[in-house]
Structure 1
């Protein structure tokens, strides 16, 4: 009887424990907000040496550690080591941005004949949802799961009138890591009143390692887009679709960012102080994912492909990292030290004819799903 009982216990433990080759999700605490609320964290780890730490403040990527071609680990995501850093120097570092990612001209839009006003937190425009967007609120961890794909789901309920937006919006963010080094981020949202929505992730990447002296301007980028949406001097789209052929925006073939990032012969580069533009991958949200970009670092051998179901890709070359704060490696973050790739609907889409639909109706579900397919060429099976 003891043998049978022991076998039964072993079988139960085998079922409860994650498989040896499965990814894991470990819940923890990152810190506290000034009002005393606890900021939860969840560390997603696979068996190939990749781990992503997700914090509930801003539903943010706080770190992403992976191997290089020599098997050496580094954290490739910019971030702060504690809550104090996020509160003092937000900069959308690693965060979920919304309700409306990117810019809205003068912060105004009209629905059903009624005009709405959102905060002007980017000179004369509204940026990434306003002064207290999704990046500056505490999300609730609602689900944590182990492999074969480990995941965490966070939720935020944005009340009617939040930052001037109509409708109570319920938003779920899921980060999922598998054993193939794929990190998938999925955003879903529903509303009880017609509103607008455009949610994305604002992770800053330096594939050489955050704080590395190499910076990110040596990264080689491919973007399969034939056109961009050019902007005015306030970075609001003009409504045009401008071909990239023969311009500094042509990344249809691999090109190092630093080759042309300071080219002042194109006024677009002057307006953005480098790349801070929307590449046209398609003209509507699709049901399946498609390639948005490829990024590789010749120094470390690290790379990723970014896939999404979104029509636009905002590529930002870290032009406004101004050396006023440092990150986890105790190194100052400067201009060009990292890049951001944001799959999304086009900027100011609600005010632009011919841009993808940005409205969300009751009964509909908004969905932005993006997958980072990381690679390093290093041997698998290392923790």
Structure 2
């Protein structure tokens, strides 16, 4: 079932509900996921994502709650890159760097939305065309993102894009998850996993040094589920650089499934993630301040965790990372599936 509620400024709020009661709420502005209700071990449906109490707060949304990110997710060093012998200057919006598509990235645009309902699935097809030169990027980029909710409590995001010129592209979604339900607890008691043997080293400005480090023997070894609070309390230079938590890119191990996951022992909620992206940025909301009015409570450090499946923009300046250049003869097609169950 799909419900549609028109709002001010041509914003529309969509609700997609399956027969189990699982409910996804999305704004056409920024493709923002404002709520995702999932059952716990007792069948209680609760919101498991961070969202603002007042929808108008999404106009700024400096933390990118629930938003689609593009053209390039992550930080581009010095807001520039060279492609085919030409240097492109992008808009800087984090010091001298370009973050998450810049100040007018995909999180700030109105998407065209089509709804669909089938036997086992329902969802939204969001479309946007990024003009040549928008944000400083070359080429006209046509993007379609499909949000699908299934009857077996899976939420899939399919990203598709084509371009008329070579251009960097890696898209993601910036939802902050907290499986306690209703933000009753921080993520410190929740357990996370990432199927990865390598992660990126960052400098003081959270820019990749180009060096890959081994996860094994470090707090970044998440190849099996680990309690996040134990990681936060571990002294490690890379954790301290990121504000006492994780804000790093992990390269997925080949042929491992699932690619990532989150588990809340108290509620029994388990989320597993599969993706054909080469890796993800794991962000444990280390920089979240206490002043934001969220739907259920005030914001706080470690209140949510982002699984930003993507390639990595460090490939624009360093070798050894998956390429993010999309060519005119190619179609960008990446999918990430979040599966919800009880453990």
| Corresponding residue to 1:155 among 127, 130, 142 | 127
Q: Which runs of 4+ in 1 moved over 6 A?
A: none
Aligned to 1:259: 230
Query: Is 1:227 the counterpart of 2:198 in the alignment?
Result: yes
Structure 2 distance, partners of 1:210, 1:126, is 33
Max Rg structure: 1
Partner residue in 1 for 2:144: 172
Within the alignment, does 1:141 sit opposite 2:107 as a pair?
A: no
Of the three residues 91, 101, 104, the one matched with 2:76 is: 104
Query: How far off is 1:234 after superposition?
Result: 1.1
Which of 175, 180, 185 aligns to 1:208? It is 180
Q: Report if aligned partners of 1:262, 1:269 keep a CA contact under 8 Å in 2.
A: no
Match of 1:241 among 212, 218, 229: 212
CA contact (8 A) 1:292 1:313 kept: no
- Secondary structure in structure 1 of the residue aligned to 2:238: helix
Q: Give 1:296's aligned residue.
A: 263
> 138-147 or 48-57: which moved more?
138-147
Q: Residue 365 in 1 paired to residue 343 in 2?
A: no
Change in CA separation of 1:208 and 1:295 when aligned onto 2, cut-off 3 Å: same
Moved more, 181-190 or 234-243: 234-243
Counterpart check, 1:313 vs 2:284: no
TM-score of the two chains, using structure 1 as the length reference: 0.86
Aligned residue in 2 for 1:51: 23
Check conservation: 2:90, 2:136, Cα contact below 8 A.
yes
Measure the CA separation in 2 of the matches of 1:92 and 1:210. Answer: 19
1:342-361 pair list within 5 angstroms: 342-361=308-327
376 and 122 in structure 1: CA distance in 2 versus 1, 3 angstrom threshold: same
Question: What is the alpha-carbon root mean square deviation over aligned residues?
Answer: 1.6
Secondary structure of the 1:239 match is strand
**So what's the TM-score if we normalise by structure 2?**
0.96
**In the alignment, what sits opposite 2:4?**
27
Give a deviation string over 1:145-179, Cα, whole Å, max 9, x none: 34421011011111011110011111111000111
Q: Is the 8 A contact 1:211 1:327 kept in 2?
A: no
Aligned to 1:80: 52
- Alpha-carbon contact 1:147-1:178 (below 8 Å) kept: no
**Unaligned runs of at least 5 residues, structure 1:** 1-23, 378-383
* Residue equivalent to 1:15: none
- Which 10-residue stretch deviates more, 39-48 or 303-312? 39-48
Could you tell me which of 87, 97, 119 is aligned with 2:91? 119
C-alpha separation in 2, matches of 1:210 and 1:103:
31
8 A contact 1:290–1:308 mirrored in 2: no
Q: What SS does the corresponding residue of 2:147 show, helix, strand or coil?
A: strand
Shift of 1:32: 2.0
Count the aligned residue pairs: 342
Q: CA separation of 1:290/1:108 partners in 2, compared to 1, >3 Å: closer, same or farther? A: farther
Residues 158 and 336 in structure 2, CA contact (< 8 A), matched pair in contact too: yes
Task: Measure the CA separation in 2 of the matches of 1:191 and 1:147.
Answer: 33
Which residue of structure 2 lines up, in the alignment, with residue 270 of structure 1? 240
* 1:351 Cα offset (Å): 1.5
Once the 2 structures are TM-superposed, how far is the Cα of residue 289 of structure 1 from its aligned partner? 9.5
Q: Give secondary structure in 2 for the equivalent of 1:187.
A: strand
Match of 2:300 among 299, 322, 334: 334
Give the C-alpha shift of residue 27 in structure 1.
2.6
SS in 1 for 2:206: coil
Deviation sequence 1:173-232 (CA, Å, 0-9, x none):
1000111101000111111111110100101111112432x1111111121111111111
1:302-356 deviations in Å (ceiling 9; x for gaps): 1100110011111100111101211112x11111011100110024222211211
Partner of 1:17: none
